[in-house]
Amino acid sequence: MERQPQSALHPSDFSLLVTWFCYIGVTWTSHSMKILLINPKFPESYWSLKWAMDNFLPKKRSVNSPLGLATVAALCPDDWDVEIVDENIETIPLRPDADIIGVCGMGVQFERQKELLSYFKRKGYYVVAGGSQASLCPEDYAAFTHTVISGEAEYIWPEFCRDYRAGSPKPLYRETGNVSLADSPVPRFDLLDLKKYRAVSLQFSRGCPYRCEFCDIIVMFGRRPRTKPLRQIEKELDELRKQGVRSAFFVDDNLIGHKKHAKSLLRLIADYETRHHSGFRFGTEASLNVAADNELLSLFRGANFEWVFIGIESPNEGSLKETGKTQNMNQDMLASVRKIYSYGIDVLGGFIIGFDNDTTDIFEKQNEFIEESGILMSMIGLLTAIPKTPLYERLKKEDRLLLDAGSADNSKLRTNFIPKRMTYRELIDGYRALHHSLFSDHSISKRVRNKVRYFKRSDLKTEFTLSENLWMLRQFIERGLLPGGLSRIARFLSSFPWRKPRLIPMVISSWIMGLSMRDYMDRHFVGEFKRDDKRVRRYVTKMKQIFEHRRHKGGLVVTMREFANKAAAVRISMNGRVQEASFKSIGSLIEHLMQKTRSSVTLHIAEFPKEHLEPLARLLERLSRYGDRIHIQMDRRSRRIVPVDSSVFNLGLQRK
Ligand code: SF4
């Protein structure tokens, strides 16, 4: 594979859960156990494709479904009452009817996972942590969980359930061997609201035969690929078909880790389609050597795989060698990508910058490679040392780790080690400049042209109806093309597949992906905040003046915090009674702030009177489109009466 998209659940999220014991003296057998499994909200990353989802798929709330939780749910005893809440599509219940609460999480979710676990533990629930972060670093959870599930869940989760029933759950369950995937149950897809996901996750294999130095997959799952029996995959497809799913994502880190088994899977899927006409279309992750096997590529095409994510990492041969990415060496990587296109399969690419062999010319080399390859979904990350990986151990020995820096998200303007052949500043500045170059209209257009040149026409029928397609086309023109002015329209037309009209949908969706990543970058990869901060300061002064006006007198206070190299944050405190007219003023001021600056806002609500609920609900409705930049903090009493959708806003759950 390759590095897992952050919005797809990691296979190791299969770990989770729970039991509790005799807090309240209930006899274990006296009632059916109730367990709530939670997938915490992901912080926005360019994997979220927020702009594309908001503008083109308004009925979808998240890119991928939480497969790990659905699998853990299937491992629960039959007489347990299991519920799944995915905070990426729905709000967290603050007082759920449950005995046990299990919260999973990848590294990027750790902060929210910790907040949820701490909150529910304080409220008296038995809490269990699982997921890839708990698998790698179970020691980080001791302070705020009752039990940690570390590693694949298939054997240790039922063991935990037995212990829980017996009233003696342990603080740590650790999987030490390799689980046979023949023992993995069909996930409880029925517990998920599948229509809210762009693609539904399923899994065929775990483990990867390669040994990339930075990779945590092989630390967790080993190097011997293990696969599910084909009859089980068929059952899973049956389930998805029953629920009307069309788009699915095999989350395997390298679907072709065991090529022979992968070919059998692809034959099965093609045969399944012939028998059922289910209209499934798939995406997955695989290593670049997929391009060397014509039969494999034909099978992918025959099984309706539309795209594959490939860890290309670097055009710099020295960097590939250094990191052990041998499968990408000694080959023409551009030719490999183009060959995959020639089978009508799109390529999403993972790239990494910051290897010891990278000097400042790497930015230009990556830029050139990515443009030539035509890869629009180019997920470029800074090399980051994930704990327990060989890279982490090496950098630790070399005393190059920046221990205070996080290692969870490699797509932000930071990393957690000292680079070797350039300064940290050069690395960050070069990384930002590379994104600015790649997501210009010029570069998007050039990449689309380079893809169209090699892409075989697609025979796949669109999954959308004619009216949905026409609506999306209008959205694309209004929200995507026109705001870029004449120059963007010209760039778009120069990338239009005049001679291959069947590629028009692919070209438009490539532009949408490019513009979506650019939207993310514009909001997050900002170099100079000073001018922006001045503007925020002006707004804050204006707010203060308005709030001090007689009409708005009440418990309203506004403050601003400035940070180094980060957008400013504004805090509005509503303490007690506030004039009703003030809600309107707050709404328009925050809306302006959101539109004109990159500031975030914290709305602090305390001593909230019930009669304010309606104007507050209207205010939140108005602000919901900016929810990812709005944090809501409430005191305990207000939290009980004010309904806030935590899948829209960042709802703070800290002790107040
Ligand atoms: S070892 Fe390399 S090829 Fe295998 S999953 Fe990890 S990064 Fe991908």
Give the residue from 604, 344, 633 showing the smallest Cα distance to 461.
Answer: 344
Give the bridge partners for 561, in sequence order.
569
Ordered DSSP codes for 369-433: HHHHHT-SSEEEEE----TTSHHHHHHHHTT-B-TTS--S-TTSS--SB--SSS-HHHHHHHHHH
Q: Return the pLDDT at 21.
A: 31
The ligand 1 atom nearest the CA atom of 2: 8
Spatial distance between the Cα atoms of 225 and 253, rounded to a whole number of angstroms = 10
Residue 287 CB-density burial (10 A; 0-12 exposed, 13-18 middle, 19+ buried)? buried
Q: Return the pLDDT at 567.
A: 73
DSSP state of 479: I
Is the entire prediction scored with pTM above 0.75?
yes
Comparison of pLDDT for 313 and 47, the residue scoring more: 313
The ligand 1 atom nearest the CA atom of 253: 5
Tokens representing 97 are 């009817």
Q: Which of 28-32, 106-110, 471-475 has the lowest mean pLDDT?
A: 28-32
pLDDT digits (tens, 9 = 90+) for 569-593: 899 988 877 777 788 888 998 998 8
Q: Which helix (H) or strand (E) holds 238?
A: helix 230-242
**Do the Cβ atoms of 169 and 146 come closer than 8 Å?**
yes
Q: What's the gap in Å between 3 CA and the centre of ligand 1? A: 7
Ordered DSSP codes for 571-612: EEEEES---HHHHHHHHHHHHHHHHH---EEEEEEES--GGG
Residue of 136, 216, 253 best suited for mutating to test ligand 1, as the one with most atoms within 8 Å of CB: 253
H helix intervals, 277-345? 294-302, 317-323, 333-342
The ligand 1 atom nearest the CA atom of 285: 8
Could you give the C-alpha distances from 192 to 85, 114, 196, 602, in angstroms and in order? 8, 23, 9, 31
3-state secondary structure 143-171: HHCCEEEECCHHHHHHHHHHHHHHCCCCC
The ligand 1 atom nearest the CA atom of 254: 5
Give the bridge partners for 149, in sequence order.
173
Q: What's the gap in Å between 321 CA and the centre of ligand 1? A: 14
210 lines ligand 1 (CB under 6 A): yes
Residue of 218, 252, 259, 322 best suited for mutating to test ligand 1, as the one with most atoms within 8 Å of CB: 218
Q: Which residues contact 58 (CB under 8 A, 6 or more apart)?
A: none
290 lines ligand 1 (CB under 6 A): no
Q: What's the gap in Å between 2 CA and the centre of ligand 1? A: 5
36 lines ligand 1 (CB under 6 A): no
Ordered DSSP codes for 352-379: EE--TT--TTHHHHHHHHHHHHT-SSEE
Q: Return the pLDDT at 582.
A: 82
Residue of 132, 203, 210, 285 best suited for mutating to test ligand 1, as the one with most atoms within 8 Å of CB: 210
11 lines ligand 1 (CB under 6 A): no
Q: Does residue 604 carry a pLDDT above 90?
A: yes
pLDDT digits (tens, 9 = 90+) for 629-642: 999 999 988 888 89
The ligand 1 atom nearest the CA atom of 327: 3
Distance of CA 11 to the CA centre of its chain: 13
**Do the Cβ atoms of 9 and 39 come closer than 8 Å?**
yes
Residue 20 CA neighbour count, 13 Å, CB half: 24
Phi, psi of 558 (to 5 degrees): -125, 135
Could you give the C-alpha distances from 369 to 287, 314, 334, 363, in angstroms and in order? 18, 9, 8, 10
Sheet holding 34-39, edge to edge: 81-86, 34-39, 100-103, 126-129, 147-150, 172-174
220 lines ligand 1 (CB under 6 A): no
The ligand 1 atom nearest the CA atom of 208: 4
Q: Which residues contact 545 (CB under 8 A, 6 or more apart)?
A: none
311 lines ligand 1 (CB under 6 A): yes
DSSP state of 310: E
**Helix, coil or strand: residue 206:** strand
Residue of 212, 322, 329, 388 best suited for mutating to test ligand 1, as the one with most atoms within 8 Å of CB: 212
312 lines ligand 1 (CB under 6 A): no
**Do the Cβ atoms of 128 and 147 come closer than 8 Å?**
yes
Phi, psi of 13 (to 5 degrees): -70, 0
**Do the Cβ atoms of 78 and 141 come closer than 8 Å?**
no
Averaged pLDDT score across all residues of the chain:
90
**Do the Cβ atoms of 282 and 249 come closer than 8 Å?**
yes
Residue 269: count of CB within 10 angstroms of its CB: 26
Give the residue from 9, 223, 205 showing the smallest Cα distance to 107.
Answer: 9
Ordered DSSP codes for 41-76: PPPP-TTS-HHHHHHH-TT--EEE--HHHHHHHHHS
Comparison of pLDDT for 461 and 195, the residue scoring more: 195
**Helix, coil or strand: residue 249:** strand
Residue 364 CA neighbour count, 13 Å, CB half: 3
pLDDT band at 25 (very low <50, low <70, confident <90, very high): very low
215 lines ligand 1 (CB under 6 A): yes
Could you give the C-alpha distances from 169 to 18, 127, 149, 476, 590, in angstroms and in order? 8, 11, 11, 54, 48
Q: Does residue 501 carry a pLDDT above 60?
A: yes
150 lines ligand 1 (CB under 6 A): no
Q: Return the pLDDT at 102.
A: 98
How much of the chain, in percent, has pLDDT values that exceed 90?
73
Q: Whose CA is nearest to atom 5 of ligand 1?
A: 1
Q: What's the gap in Å between 217 CA and the centre of ligand 1? A: 7
Q: Which of 380-394, 403-417, 596-610 has the lowest mean pLDDT?
A: 403-417
The ligand 1 atom nearest the CA atom of 257: 4
Q: Return the pLDDT at 31.
A: 66
Comparison of pLDDT for 655 and 179, the residue scoring more: 179
Q: Which residues contact 489 (CB under 8 A, 6 or more apart)?
A: 481, 482
pLDDT band at 15 (very low <50, low <70, confident <90, very high): very low
Q: Does residue 11 carry a pLDDT above 60?
A: no
DSSP state of 250: E
Q: What's the gap in Å between 86 CA and the centre of ligand 1? A: 28
Spatial distance between the Cα atoms of 622 and 613, rounded to a whole number of angstroms = 14
Q: What's the gap in Å between 126 CA and the centre of ligand 1? A: 36
Spatial distance between the Cα atoms of 189 and 419, rounded to a whole number of angstroms = 44
Q: Return the pLDDT at 404.
A: 76
**Helix, coil or strand: residue 315:** coil
pLDDT band at 87 (very low <50, low <70, confident <90, very high): very high
Q: Whose CA is nearest to atom 3 of ligand 1?
A: 1
Give the residue from 440, 442, 435, 415 showing the smallest Cα distance to 427.
Answer: 415
Q: Does residue 622 carry a pLDDT above 60?
A: yes
Q: Report the first-to-last Cα separation within the chain, whole angstroms.
A: 43
Q: What's the gap in Å between 254 CA and the centre of ligand 1? A: 7
Give the residue from 370, 360, 640 showing the smallest Cα distance to 514.
Answer: 370
H helix intervals, 94-229? 110-122, 132-136, 153-166, 217-221
**Helix, coil or strand: residue 535:** helix
Spatial distance between the Cα atoms of 4 and 253, rounded to a whole number of angstroms = 7
328 lines ligand 1 (CB under 6 A): no
Q: Return the pLDDT at 569.
A: 87
Give the residue from 291, 225, 232, 301 showing the smallest Cα distance to 260.
Answer: 225
Q: What's the gap in Å between 4 CA and the centre of ligand 1? A: 10
